[in-house]
């Protein structure tokens, strides 16, 4: 390992940790007051709820996904820059994963400790349903952390197709990250206005641009299928999961929860296909432009090279 790798690894660790904090920033900036819980052991006013590093609630699952994946993508892209020119360097990639995990696991652990304590799980005074509620949300948070690690690895990769797929996974819930910033300033009755349009179409623009940048290189072509699939299917999945977890009367009734999730998924499945079409159109245009400009650049370079002219008999 050369000196540059030795320096890059701790830098990547620090950068990924800061990126994870940036991912949490909209929630922390809002005051980080835990949302009111339906099964809280004692009646507590919203302003008296304890502080938590994540908004643990069955109504905020999409926001939690956005907070964790946004930080992971930002950290991965930064680590990718740090790894540039380092053939086979895994130190920065591992360091970035460590930094990301340190912050996100701390946030998950602190938040669920507060939630478990408030629900009475630590002194056996909890409502029986609280065990299922907290356990389900903890499992979902840990699963999201694993997806965040995957996003970090993909966006830190040298392969453009992997970067594009990582961006697809993180950009779809990114709208919820933007919404978390806007919530304190936007009244429900007035709606998000132009911000809503940006949040709705930004994933299609980012995914399309990333796929066009990745192009059709061998080994990267699969990213088109998977990235467009994520753009189409992930929004309905997030909506369905949040609806199933948010149905208080169905908590613990797995059949009813699955039925709610499946109905919402099928009902919203046709709301994303037009964004897939837009992303595909953008990807094709960007890929074509980059291909043509690349060919033009190679021709100019070849014509300016005396050896190339001699080879062609010029």
For residue 110, CA distances in Å to 38, 43, 53, 139, 230 come to: 20, 21, 7, 15, 31
What pLDDT sits at residue 192? 54
Residues 269-289 have a mean pLDDT of 90
User: Which of 111, 104, 138 is closest to 23 using CA atoms?
Assistant: 104
Residues 268-284 have a mean pLDDT of 89
Chain position carrying tokens 């509620």: 133
Residues 285-289 have a mean pLDDT of 92
Q: What is the extent of the structural domain holding 169? A: 3-311
Distance CA 101, CA 148 (A): 9
What pLDDT sits at residue 294? 72
What pLDDT band is residue 299 in, cutting at 50, 70 and 90? low
pTM score: 0.86
The number of domains in the chain is 1
Q: Which residue has the higher pLDDT, 146 or 302?
A: 146
Q: Find the distance separating the first CA and the last CA of the chain, reported in whole Å.
A: 46
pLDDT exceeds cutoff 50 at 188: no
Instruction: Take residue 97 and report the two structure tokens written for it.
Output: 């994963």
Q: Which residue has the higher pLDDT, 81 or 243?
A: 81
- Average model confidence (pLDDT) for the chain? 84
What pLDDT sits at residue 276? 93
What pLDDT sits at residue 314? 38
Q: Tens digit of pLDDT for each residue in 104-144?
A: 999 999 999 999 999 988 887 777 888 888 898 999 999 99
Residues 23-47 have a mean pLDDT of 90
What pLDDT sits at residue 35? 92
> Using an 8 Å Cβ cutoff, are 215 and 287 in contact?
yes
Instruction: Take residue 248 and report the two structure tokens written for it.
Output: 């208080």
Distance CA 108, CA 55 (A): 10
How many C-beta atoms lie closer than 10 Å to residue 71's C-beta?
A: 29
Q: Tens digit of pLDDT for each residue in 152-170?
A: 999 999 889 999 999 999 9
What pLDDT sits at residue 209? 94
Q: Which residue has the higher pLDDT, 8 or 207?
A: 207
Residues 230-245 have a mean pLDDT of 86
């Amino acid at each position: 390992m050369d000196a540059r790798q030795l320096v890059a690894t701790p830098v990547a660790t620090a950068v990924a940790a800061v990126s994870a904090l940036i991912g949490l920033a909209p929630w922390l900036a809002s005051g980080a007051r835990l949302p009111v819980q339906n099964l809280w052991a004692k009646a507590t006013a919203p302003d008296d709820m304890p502080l938590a590093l994540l908004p643990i609630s069955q109504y905020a699952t999409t926001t939690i996904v956005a907070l964790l994946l946004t930080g992971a993508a930002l950290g991965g892209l930064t680590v990718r820059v740090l790894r540039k020119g380092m053939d086979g360097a895994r130190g920065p990639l591992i360091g970035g994963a460590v930094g990301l995990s340190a912050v996100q696991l701390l946030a998950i652990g602190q938040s669920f400790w507060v939630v478990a304590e408030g629900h009475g799980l630590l002194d056996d005074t909890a409502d029986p349903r609280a065990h299922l509620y907290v356990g389900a949300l903890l499992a979902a948070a840990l699963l999201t952390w694993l997806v965040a690690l995957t996003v970090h690895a993909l966006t830190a990769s040298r392969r453009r197709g992997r970067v594009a797929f990582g961006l697809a996974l993180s950009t779809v819930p990114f709208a919820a990250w933007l919404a978390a910033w806007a919530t304190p300033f936007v009244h429900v009755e007035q709606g998000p206005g132009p911000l809503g349009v940006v949040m709705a179409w930004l994933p299609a623009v980012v995914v399309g641009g990333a796929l066009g940048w990745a192009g059709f290189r061998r080994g990267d072509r699969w990213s088109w299928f998977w990235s467009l699939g994520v753009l189409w299917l992930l929004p309905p999945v997030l909506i369905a999961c949040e609806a199933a977890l948010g149905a208080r009367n169905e908590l613990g009734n797995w059949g009813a929860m699955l039925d709610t999730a499946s109905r919402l998924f099928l009902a919203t499945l046709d709301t994303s296909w037009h964004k897939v079409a837009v992303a595909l159109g953008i990807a094709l245009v960007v890929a074509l432009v980059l291909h043509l400009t690349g060919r033009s650049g190679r021709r100019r370079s070849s014509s300016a090279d005396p050896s190339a002219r001699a080879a062609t008999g010029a």
